[in-house]
Structure 1
Amino acid sequence: MQFKLLAAAICATLPLVASAQSSVTIYGVLDAAVAYEDNGAPNGSRTVLNSGNQSSSRFGFKGAEDIGSGLKAIFNLEGGVAIDTGMGDSALFGRRAVVGLQGSFGSVTLGREYTPIADVAKESDIFGQGFYGTNLSAFGTGRLTRRISNSVNYKSVPMSGLRVGAAYGAGEALTGPSLDIMGISADYTIGKFYVGAGYHTVERLASGDDKEMIVGAGYKMGPVSIKGNYMVADLTGANNKYEQVNLGASMSSGASTFYANYQQQKLEAGGAKGNTLAVAYSYAFSKRTNAYATYARLSNNATARFGINSSSTSLTPPPANLGADPSNLSIGVRHSF
């Protein structure tokens, strides 16, 4: 009888031993907003319910296991979900899917990961890549690359405030251009000052590589933060350069935070130019729940058809409406777990 009780006690402690060696966290963000949007075209306005205006709604799993000798095995699976419809992204874990090792050298991961430029873009955006008017409008077809599949990634630990990163994504093409992407980044944080830069090359065509780059900075003075960046996507060929500039500020007072950002987009072909002014307000009920309101308006010149982006949604004039000026007013709530 005593042997059976001892055996049962040992078995009961095994899960505790395992949990001390490894950990898995389930997390997510749920964000929904009522929005009045106008794409700038005749009869182009409507009222909608959007998902992910401040933060993309998501769910994920991440974990680490201590495997000895100062090493940890790490993983992260993250997928998007639309709160307005309940639908998931077309790829189950399209936001992030990596596994790798972490140690005193930093971390090495394999899978689908954020690019080196994406890390700098997030750190230097006053909206944190949320709210309409964010710098996410610099990413997408023919512009900068935010995520890469089939990738090998390295991120160093901070060394006196300096961090470096590198990534290689295999295009895995059997014929023609390889579609490979290579990127590097470096950023430096000292006190309340941040500065970072990143660079990518993409072998999209048989001759010449597409080039992408970013420089960004930020500074915090008590309740006030200032952030800005300059981004370029220079595709192979003449007159294909896309440029974006952002300059923003925020101020916190108790549970309230006020934001403002100015953004300019330019396309070399045709001299297209668009200027966006965006403001936002957030009230934090707790560390995990806040309500927000945001307004953004983009003014395009006669040859431009730029759009505005939030974390998961975008608003762009129809192809036939060059010079149209899109705008968005959103009121929403966000909860993280």
Structure 2
Amino acid sequence: MKFKYLAAALLSSLPLLATAQTNVQIYGVMDASIGVEDTDAPGEDSRTVINSGNQSSSRIGFRGTEDLGNGLKALFNIEAGVALDTGAADTNLFGRRAVVGLQGNFGTLTVGREYSPIAAVAAASDVLGQGLYGSNLSAFATNRLTRRLSNSVNYKSNAAAGFTVNAAYSTGERAVEPSGDLMGVSLEYKNGGLYLGGGYHVLERLATGDDKEWAAGAGYTFGAFEIKGNYLVADQTGANNEYKNANIGAAYTAGPNKFFINFQQQKIESGAKGNTVSVAYTYALSKRTNIYTTYAQLRNNGRATFGIASSSVTVAPPATALGADPRVFNVGLRHSF
């Protein structure tokens, strides 16, 4: 109930905010689709579903800056997830992003809940834009890799000769060891249509050792074509726990039409492996509105129950249905404001 009161207070204060600071903005994405999901698990049939956020997670956000002079700006951003299929909000009201910070000649410094250094690399090197079924968000499912950092201090450098550095420290806020702290860094390079990136996290999660996460990605855009790929690794403490996720995809744009294809392999050191093929199509009705359709098929081996991820939804068999091969098809509408 307190979330409802807080949201109402924020909305009622917007006219005052706009008067006091003209660069405060309201923005968002509304994305809904209808589709058919089949986990291929024994005893389960395919089902028709209405989903929210299959191409882009549905959200509403507030952001703004204040010019402090001498090239220095104060900034803030709070962003809440919304489920259009049910009208529900995320468990954490502003769980997508909640930061305040400073921006200047030194770069950008933020404090709060922020995207991780590895997340920046994964997003930039996913041809599906971390939306549409088959995206590399499957690597971030079940906390394999860390996408967002709570209780964090974050730094992003200004671009220099095409290079950008991202660094973060997130405190676990624990009074006893292991601390739960995460430290991460990534380096990105952009030059025309070329993108290269790499990142590393270390997480003090268990007393027996630290978890380690890696990401490497690349992309190249030439004319109407683009090709992107990435390799993501989560080496969690314990035997046979290393998880790997590899992606390669391409896209072609023709006027308002855009066509996608992506290949993904997931595997765990214990021997579990799954391969996914996904295709997608989007049609731009305007600069802010498009329709889309996507189909994905995953083939698990006899030790695996991997799933197919879109921006907000993962279709996966139960943990007991080893070797099940999920597939999904959907059609949706996305509007940005």
Give the Cα–Cα distance (whole angstroms) in 1 for the partners of residues 151 and 101 of structure 2. 13
> In the alignment, is residue 109 of structure 1 matched against residue 85 of structure 2?
no
Equivalent residue number for residue 37 of structure 1: 37
Deviates more, 1:34-43 or 1:100-109: 34-43
Give the Cα–Cα distance (whole angstroms) in 1 for the partners of residues 234 and 189 of structure 2. 23
Distance 1:41 1:156, change over 3 A: same
Equivalent residue number for residue 287 of structure 1: 287
> In the alignment, is residue 193 of structure 1 matched against residue 194 of structure 2?
yes
Equivalent residue number for residue 184 of structure 1: 185
User: How far apart are residue 141 of structure 1 and its match?
Assistant: 2.8
User: How far apart are residue 84 of structure 1 and its match?
Assistant: 0.4
The structure with more radius of gyration: 1
> In the alignment, is residue 309 of structure 1 matched against residue 309 of structure 2?
yes
Identical-pair percentage: 61
Task: Give the secondary structure class of the aligned counterpart of 2:134.
Answer: coil
Deviation by residue 1:33-73 (Cα, 9 ceiling, x = unmatched):
00100011133310000000000000000000001121100
TM-score by length of 2: 0.93
Q: Is the 8 A contact 2:290 2:333 kept in 1?
A: yes
Equivalent residue number for residue 226 of structure 2: 225
Q: Is the 8 A contact 1:142 1:233 kept in 2?
A: no
Q: Is the 8 A contact 1:32 1:53 kept in 2?
A: yes
Q: Report the residue type matching 1:324 in the other structure.
A: A
Task: Give the secondary structure class of the aligned counterpart of 1:44.
Answer: coil
Equivalent residue number for residue 126 of structure 1: 127
Give the Cα–Cα distance (whole angstroms) in 2 for the partners of residues 145 and 118 of structure 1. 7
Deviation by residue 1:129-165 (Cα, 9 ceiling, x = unmatched):
0001000000033510000100000000100100001
Give the Cα–Cα distance (whole angstroms) in 2 for the partners of residues 240 and 161 of structure 1. 36
Q: How does 1:73-84 map to 2 (within 5 A)?
A: 73-84=74-85
Q: Is the 8 A contact 1:112 1:148 kept in 2?
A: yes
Q: Report the residue type matching 1:217 in the other structure.
A: A
> In the alignment, is residue 58 of structure 1 matched against residue 59 of structure 2?
yes
> How many pairs does the alignment contain?
321
The CA RMSD measured in Å over matched residues stands at: 1.4
Distance 1:316 1:16, change over 3 A: closer
Q: Is the 8 A contact 2:40 2:326 kept in 1?
A: yes
Q: Is the 8 A contact 2:18 2:24 kept in 1?
A: no
Q: Report the residue type matching 1:49 in the other structure.
A: I
Give the Cα–Cα distance (whole angstroms) in 2 for the partners of residues 313 and 191 of structure 1. 33
Give the Cα–Cα distance (whole angstroms) in 2 for the partners of residues 143 and 157 of structure 1. 30
Deviation by residue 1:160-181 (Cα, 9 ceiling, x = unmatched):
1000010000000112310000
Q: How does 1:201-280 map to 2 (within 5 A)?
A: 201-269=202-270, 271-280=271-280
User: How far apart are residue 16 of structure 1 and its match?
Assistant: 9.6
Q: Report the residue type matching 1:77 in the other structure.
A: I
Equivalent residue number for residue 143 of structure 1: 144
Give the Cα–Cα distance (whole angstroms) in 1 for the partners of residues 273 and 141 of structure 2. 18
Deviates more, 1:260-269 or 1:139-148: 139-148
Q: Is the 8 A contact 1:142 1:235 kept in 2?
A: no
TM-score by length of 1: 0.93
Task: Give the secondary structure class of the aligned counterpart of 1:23.
Answer: coil
Distance 1:16 1:331, change over 3 A: closer
Structure 2: give runs of 5+ residues left out of the alignment.
Answer: 1-16
Deviates more, 1:50-59 or 1:175-184: 175-184
Q: Report the residue type matching 1:97 in the other structure.
A: A
